[in-house]
């Protein structure tokens, strides 16, 4: 395998294959960001007289050509090249000669890969953010559409009080705002330029780190060179925590859907094409999509722990262990985006039962409403509670199914516009 730093005796092929692992495959995600980082770096090198203007021009043209190849899908990692950083520098050197060798001045693979990862994670944060925002908007629209349709509310998985589809959909729309807060925190942790920290202890070159921070669109930098390397693992874990938070929200929503689809409930339905049948029971309509969503969400919630275990007990500075962070986090980013897409797709096809509470099964949902009505007429709460309880025990309770909730966040005042405004404000944190 070709490396830029090989010594007289090449590494044993078995060891080499083992230590590289899936890095070449996963590095392809970093390819455009590696080029972006290099474009900013050479511009800075020219500004501090470490690169001639004609060299900058040649390198810029060729790097942009490589970027177009990456974007078109024609760029490939050669079998004997270790990583994306080496591949791009080797291509440059082949195409422009010794000038290509100057691109690494003032850099280490440590700050180069960290810069690539931070740029990539910022980009993924934005992709996930948009999907979460779209899903929240869709939930609010469904909540408005079905706000008059009542639904049983549960505590301890027992029938409790009246709810509505407006409350149910809106609850998840607002919960996603919390997840956006988490995602915004991860974005801000990634939004710090490490370029120039080199191997973790800076360099004797007169680098202009403020320039590369501006060029790469970072809002600030990791000022301390050692701190930049300390962000390895922390940066990835913060995003893992954010996607685990999203997964927790979608997990509950998937479980609700599975329950509501059950024949004993029948609160919602989906077209036959979105459910599956049984090999022996002709009546079955299984919620396989929601079960797979739920399973993926459970796996996503394990990712922060995997990263914690991988990065625990390491002293400061770079360790090869960090390479494995890609294997843990990168597939999880695909997983959470797919979960969000499938959740949105299913919601495009949901139908709700508009007459659920007509059944006498749900008469006792209205005991609290009756207690409250008596309190409003002047009966002390404890007396009203005991009286209604006695009617329930005697089987004489007859519910009035009129709902008069008016306070903020109740069935009669969903505050969906306020939830939408909250989401819009959260999106401004990026």
Query: Where exactly are the structural domains of the chain?
Result: 13-105, 110-204+222-358
Distance between CA 113 and CA 229 in Å, rounded? 11
Tokens of 124: 């993924």
pLDDT, tens digit (0-9, with 9 covering 90-100), for 11-46: 577 776 776 767 778 889 999 999 999 999 999 999
In the three-class reduction of DSSP (H, G, I as helix; E, B as strand; rest coil), residue 286 is classed as strand
Indicate the pTM of the whole model: 0.91
Distance between CA 76 and CA 319 in Å, rounded? 27
What does the pLDDT read at residue 124? Answer: 98
Average pLDDT, rounded, for the chain: 92
State the greatest distance between any 2 C-alpha atoms of the chain, in Å, as a whole number. 94
Distance between CA 233 and CA 58 in Å, rounded? 36
Q: Cβ-count burial of 105 within 10 angstroms (0-12 exposed, 13-18 middle, 19+ buried)?
A: middle
Tokens of 178: 């919390």
Q: Which residues of 219-236 are buried (b: 16+ CB within 10 A; e: fewer)?
A: eebbeebeebbebbbebb
CA-based Rg of the chain, rounded to a whole angstrom?
Answer: 29
Candidate CATH numbers 1.20.200.10, 1.10.10.10, 3.30.70.1450, 3.10.180.10; the one for domain 110-204+222-358:
1.20.200.10
- Count Cβ atoms below 10 Å from residue 75 Cβ, excluding itself: 19
Q: Report in angstroms the alpha-carbon separations of 223 from 119, 149, 184, 231.
A: 17, 55, 21, 12
CATH of domain 13-105: 1.10.275.10
Interacting residues of 322 by C-beta distance below 8 A, sequence separation 6+: 232, 233, 311
Interacting residues of 93 by C-beta distance below 8 A, sequence separation 6+: 100, 101
Interacting residues of 264 by C-beta distance below 8 A, sequence separation 6+: none
pLDDT beneath 50: ranges in the chain = none
Tokens of 294: 């739920």
What does the pLDDT read at residue 400? Answer: 86
Element (H, E) at 254: helix 234-261
Cβ atoms 413, 407 nearer than 8 A: yes
DSSP structure class, residue 359: S
Sequential DSSP letters for 178-233:
HHHHHHHHHHHHH-EE-TT-TTTT--SS---HHHHHHHTT-SEE--SHHHHHHTTT
Cβ atoms 349, 271 nearer than 8 A: yes
pLDDT, tens digit (0-9, with 9 covering 90-100), for 198-212: 999 999 999 999 999
Distance between CA 97 and CA 181 in Å, rounded? 48
């Amino acid at each position: 395998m070709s490396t830029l730093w090989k010594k007289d005796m090449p590494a044993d092929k078995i060891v080499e294959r083992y230590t590289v692992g899936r890095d070449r495959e996963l590095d392809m995600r970093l390819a455009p960001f590696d080029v972006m980082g290099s474009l900013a770096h050479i511009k800075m090198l020219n500004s501090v007289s470490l690169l001639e203007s004609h060299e900058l021009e040649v390198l810029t043209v060729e790097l942009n050509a490589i970027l177009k190849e990456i974007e078109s899908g024609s760029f490939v990692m050669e079998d004997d090249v270790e990583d994306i950083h080496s591949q791009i520098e080797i291509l440059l050197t082949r195409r422009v000669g010794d000038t290509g060798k100057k691109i690494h001045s003032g850099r280490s693979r440590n700050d180069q890969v960290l810069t690539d990862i931070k740029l990539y994670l910022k980009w993924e944060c934005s992709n996930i953010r948009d999907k979460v925002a779209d899903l929240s908007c869709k939930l609010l629209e469904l909540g408005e559409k079905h706000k008059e349709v009542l639904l049983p509310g549960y505590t301890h998985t027992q029938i409790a009080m009246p709810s509505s589809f407006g409350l149910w959909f809106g609850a998840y729309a607002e919960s996603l705002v919390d997840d956006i807060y988490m995602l915004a925190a991860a974005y801000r942790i990634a939004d710090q330029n490490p370029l120039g920290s080199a191997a973790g202890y800076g360099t004797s070159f007169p680098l202009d780190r403020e320039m590369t921070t501006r060029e790469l669109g970072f809002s600030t930098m990791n000022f301390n060179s050692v701190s930049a390397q300390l962000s390895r693992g922390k940066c990835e874990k913060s995003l893992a925590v954010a996607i685990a938070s999203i997964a927790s929200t979608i997990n509950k929503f998937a479980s609700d859907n599975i329950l509501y689809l059950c024949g004993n409930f029948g609160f919602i339905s989906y077209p036959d094409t979105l459910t599956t049948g049984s090999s022996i029971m002709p009546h079955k309509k299984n919620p396989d999509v929601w079960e797979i969503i739920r399973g993926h969400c459970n796996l996503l919630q394990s990712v922060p722990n995997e990263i914690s275990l991988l990065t625990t007990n390491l002293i400061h500075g770079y360790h090869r262990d960090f390479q494995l962070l890609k294997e843990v986090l990168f597939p999880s980013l695909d997983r959470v985006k797919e979960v969000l897409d499938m959740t949105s797709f299913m919601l495009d096809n949901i139908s709700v039962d508009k007459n659920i509470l007509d059944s006498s099964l749900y008469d006792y949902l209205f005991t609290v409403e009756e207690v409250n009505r008596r309190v409003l007429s002047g009966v002390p709460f404890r007396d009203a509670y005991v009286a209604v309880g006695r009617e329930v025990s005697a089987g004489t309770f007859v519910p009035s199914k009129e709902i008069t909730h008016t306070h903020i966040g109740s069935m009669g005042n969903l505050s969906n516009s306020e939830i939408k405004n909250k989401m819009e404000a959260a999106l401004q944190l990026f």
